[in-house]
Structure 1
């Protein structure tokens, strides 16, 4: 590896046995909480906080509190795993009558102008959303989009002397949608998407996160080719990473 390649790589947790410097929040609203999520990110050197079976109001409160954590200034990266029922563009809590919390609002809470302590650091989101309303799943899985996704990305003028790092830089946003009926199947104790993610993170620790996600997509695509529409998973990736990112504790 050249010196230039080394300089363009985020190597996570090289000192993880000495102290935690990585934060992970898991919000799981569905009935079954897979401990493998917590174990996977703990093994990667992340300090994991888990929140289970929250209402929408509580999800909002937790995310606001996490985004404002002063400890972020000491962390090198942040991971958020969210598993919930939802609509096509929002997540629900245990109170399903609520209209839900928009997914784009979640991302905005951690943008550089709102959460400056994470500016310039990787902000990684893995979201499994079980869509409640029929007809909201689009057959456009595996669409990968680089660059800012919010329409008003250039609408906010930069202030003189402000940091040159864009407020939307260094996001990794992996979203998987599936039909809510999967939660009612006895054999579906955990999301295929999350199972593959944990497997890849546990075994391929020298692989960049983008490469890992491509392999995850391949696994999901293979699954989708063998099952009915109701059993399929639909994965989208948007990222604004400026450097190669490897999640590794070794």
Structure 2
């Protein structure tokens, strides 16, 4: 293609965009801004006043071009502008052959858009009334659209892909049929998560079998044919510990005993040769930011990275001390190869002290523990998605799905204390990490409270491709 021909083709594509711009209403432009809010920064979108500005920004971000106009077609499809799509694809500059929708707009954002299309003006007024004590009056002005309200709710941490409960409560009070649609969407999304988890379990089961064989044979040499990650770097790596104790701001109980876990982890991982970095009482933003800071480091000379998170939790993930949730996927994807290239093909090890459900809550047995000093308490949470579809991750959870894990005020948590003990005992003997975690499983499964009713079973999930074997430290025990 000659330079002149290329310029002509570029001009034709810009004419197509101009045609689209002239065909859209003001409300449709606002709809496009909402739909693109996951692709562009809110700061950029806040000053958006025309479709032309939006298209220019998408082009600058390499999300839209004459070679790949699929995002434009996807957006128009969501807006149900089918006649405009037919008109555009009849143009030579946007042929139908080979052109598919880009699927860049998430199912979650499409669902919110479709929900907004079903809300009448009176329903919107009622929604704003219910939000009077939640959002500022300025954000509830007469001309504020429902999609703009959704964005404000997301900013406040009241709404996200994994948390539709608050929205469901408001909508169901005003329009029960739409409330049922939200429930249906949550159910379908959960089923998709279950399918993904079952696929992951196939690999996890195979890995667990290997670890079990290793333990029963009690022989390191028989594992020689299974490769292990290199542990010969100048530094073993960074061990980040996020220790959340003070939850007064969100009216949750303080996590008494967590400092015992923190100290145990600091001692053991320093002994193993790690640079230990401890962060205290992090809110959601700070949790993700310290992980981003960790990802920004140069890990070229390191062997691996460790992240220990000690906190309360809910169904969607870990709670910051502000009561807002950082999902498990958000935690671990901060260290993905795209975010941290220097950790590519190196093990990324996460140890999470939090429950994975609410079954067997300690509050059900107050008569058994009249002295609160010895009463185990839980940090309940259920991660709906955890290990990402990437290699070289370990996510060691303190308990299996749907059950709590326990923390004692003067002894720390069952899981973390057992983990630290067995690292000290078994690393010098050459045991790999999965074999050590198998022993932790065995140890914790035998623990119970004074009533004999509280039980706990840890569970590692992983996409490790080799064995993790820490070189024995020079001193036998820390």
Contact 2:229 2:346 in 1 (8 A): no
Per the alignment, residue 110 of structure 1 pairs with 335
Deviation sequence 1:101-123 (CA, Å, 0-9, x none):
10111111112222211010011
For 2:451 and 2:439, how far apart are their aligned partners in 1?
A: 19
User: SS of 1:9's equivalent?
Assistant: coil
Q: Give TM-score, length-normalised by structure 2.
A: 0.40
Contact 1:84 1:130 in 2 (8 A): no
Shift in Å, 1:7: 7.9
1:218/1:51 Cα in 2 relative to 1: closer, same or farther (>3 Å)? same
Shift in Å, 1:225: 9.5
Per the alignment, residue 9 of structure 1 pairs with 228
Shift in Å, 1:240: 1.4
Equivalent residue in structure 1 for 2:436, among 195, 198, 212:
212
For 1:59 and 1:245, how far apart are their aligned partners in 2?
A: 26
For 2:270 and 2:343, how far apart are their aligned partners in 1?
A: 20
For 1:26 and 1:226, how far apart are their aligned partners in 2?
A: 30
User: SS of 1:223's equivalent?
Assistant: coil
Pairing of 1:144-223 with structure 2 (within 5 A): 149-150=387-388, 153=389, 168-177=390-399, 179=404, 182-183=406-407, 186-187=409-410, 189-205=411-427, 206-223=430-447
Contact 1:83 1:127 in 2 (8 A): yes
**Do residues 78 (structure 1) and 78 (structure 2) align?**
no
For 1:45 and 1:81, how far apart are their aligned partners in 2?
A: 16
For 1:54 and 1:108, how far apart are their aligned partners in 2?
A: 18
For 1:195 and 1:233, how far apart are their aligned partners in 2?
A: 13
Per the alignment, residue 243 of structure 1 pairs with 466
Contact 1:88 1:136 in 2 (8 A): no
For 2:288 and 2:442, how far apart are their aligned partners in 1?
A: 33
For 2:334 and 2:355, how far apart are their aligned partners in 1?
A: 22
For 2:451 and 2:237, how far apart are their aligned partners in 1?
A: 37
Runs of 5+ unmatched residues, structure 1: 138-147, 154-167
Per the alignment, residue 42 of structure 1 pairs with 270
Contact 1:201 1:247 in 2 (8 A): no
Higher percent of residues as helix: 2
1:217/1:225 Cα in 2 relative to 1: closer, same or farther (>3 Å)? farther
User: SS of 2:312's equivalent?
Assistant: strand
Contact 2:329 2:387 in 1 (8 A): no
Equivalent residue in structure 2 for 1:58, among 279, 286, 291:
286
Name the count of aligned residue pairs.
212
Equivalent residue in structure 2 for 1:33, among 244, 259, 262:
259
Contact 2:236 2:303 in 1 (8 A): yes
User: SS of 2:391's equivalent?
Assistant: coil
Q: Higher relative CO (CA 8 A, sep ≥ 6), structure 1 or 2?
A: 1
Q: Which 4+ stretches in 1 moved above 6 angstroms?
A: none
Per the alignment, residue 24 of structure 1 pairs with 239
Runs of 5+ unmatched residues, structure 2: 1-219, 246-254, 362-385, 474-478
Contact 2:441 2:457 in 1 (8 A): no
